[in-house]
Structure 1
Amino acid sequence: MTTPTVSADAAQHAGGSSFYLAMRILPRQKREAMFEIYKFCRKVDDVADSHGPRNARLAELNRYREDVAALYQGRVSERMGGFLGPVRDFGLRREDFLAVIDGMEMDVLADIRAPDLATLDLYCDRVASAVGRLSVRVFGVPNDDGVSLSYHLGRALQLTNILRDVDEDADIGRLYLPRECLIAAGIDSEDPHLVLAHPNLGRACAPLIGKARDHFMQARTIMDRQPRASVKAPRIMAEAYAPMLDTLQRRGFAAPRDRVRVDRLRLIFAVLRYGIL
Structure 2
Amino acid sequence: MSETRTKESTVKVEAIRSTENREQKIASFRAAVELTSDAVRVVSVTAVDALKASARFMGVTTKEENLANPFDNIDAPVWSEKDIPPFILNTAYDYCEALTIREAANFYHSFKYLPDEQRRAMCAYYAFCRRADDIADGDYRDLFPGSSGPKDEEALEYISRIEEMIQRVPVVDRTSFIDKMSQLFFFRKKLSTAYNDLVSTDPIFLALKDTVQKYHIPRIHLDDLIAGMEDDFFQDRYDTFEDLYRYCYRVASTVGLVCIDIYGYENPKAREHAEAWGVFMQLVNILRDVQEDADRGRIYLPIEDLARHGIQPEDVLEGRLQEHPGWGPFVAEFIERIEVYRDRALDLLPMLKPKMRFSPAIMMGFYRSILKKIRRNDGDVFSQRVKLNKVEKLTLALSIYIRHRFLTFF
Q: Which residue of 2 aligns with 1:70?
A: 193
Q: CA RMSD in A?
A: 2.3
Within the alignment, does 1:8 sit opposite 2:131 as a pair?
Answer: no
Long gaps (5+) in structure 1: none
- 1:176-255 mapped onto 2 (5 Å cutoff): 176-189=300-313, 192-194=317-319, 196-197=321-322, 199=324, 200-254=326-380
Q: Which residue of 2 aligns with 1:135?
A: 259
Q: 1:96 to 1:32 in 2, by over 3 A?
A: same
Q: 1:120 to 1:244 in 2, by over 3 A?
A: same
TM-score by length of structure 2 reads 0.62
Q: Which residue of 1 aligns with 2:245?
A: 121
Q: Distance in 2 between matches of 1:145 and 1:205?
A: 30
Secondary structure of the structure 2 residue equivalent to 1:53: helix
Count of matched residue positions in the alignment of Structure 1 and Structure 2: 276
2:231 to 96, 106, 117: 106
**How far 1:30 sits from its partner (Å)?**
0.4
User: 2:184 touches 2:226 (CA, 8 Å); kept in 1?
Assistant: yes
Long gaps (5+) in structure 2: 1-82, 140-174
Secondary structure of the structure 2 residue equivalent to 1:78: coil
User: 1:187 touches 1:195 (CA, 8 Å); kept in 2?
Assistant: no
Q: Distance in 1 between matches of 2:138 and 2:209?
A: 28
Q: Distance in 1 between matches of 2:358 and 2:185?
A: 34
**How far 1:195 sits from its partner (Å)?**
5.5
Q: Which residue of 1 aligns with 2:171?
A: none
Q: Which residue of 2 aligns with 1:175?
A: 299
**How far 1:210 sits from its partner (Å)?**
1.2
Q: Which residue of 2 aligns with 1:43?
A: 131
Larger helix proportion of the pair? 1
Structure 1 counterpart of 2:105, one-letter code: S
Within the alignment, does 1:162 sit opposite 2:286 as a pair?
Answer: yes
Which protein, 1 or 2, shows the higher relative CO under an 8 Å CA cutoff with sep ≥ 6? 1
Within the alignment, does 1:56 sit opposite 2:144 as a pair?
Answer: no
TM-score by length of structure 1 reads 0.90
Q: Distance in 2 between matches of 1:251 and 1:71?
A: 45
2:106 to 5, 10, 18: 18
Q: 1:143 to 1:78 in 2, by over 3 A?
A: farther
Q: 1:225 to 1:82 in 2, by over 3 A?
A: closer
Q: 1:143 to 1:94 in 2, by over 3 A?
A: farther
Query: What whole-Å deviation, never above 9, does each CA across 1:158-194 have from its counterpart, x for those lacking one?
Result: 1111111112212222111111210111112255234
The sequence identity of aligned pairs, in percent, is 28
Q: Distance in 1 between matches of 2:396 and 2:221?
A: 28
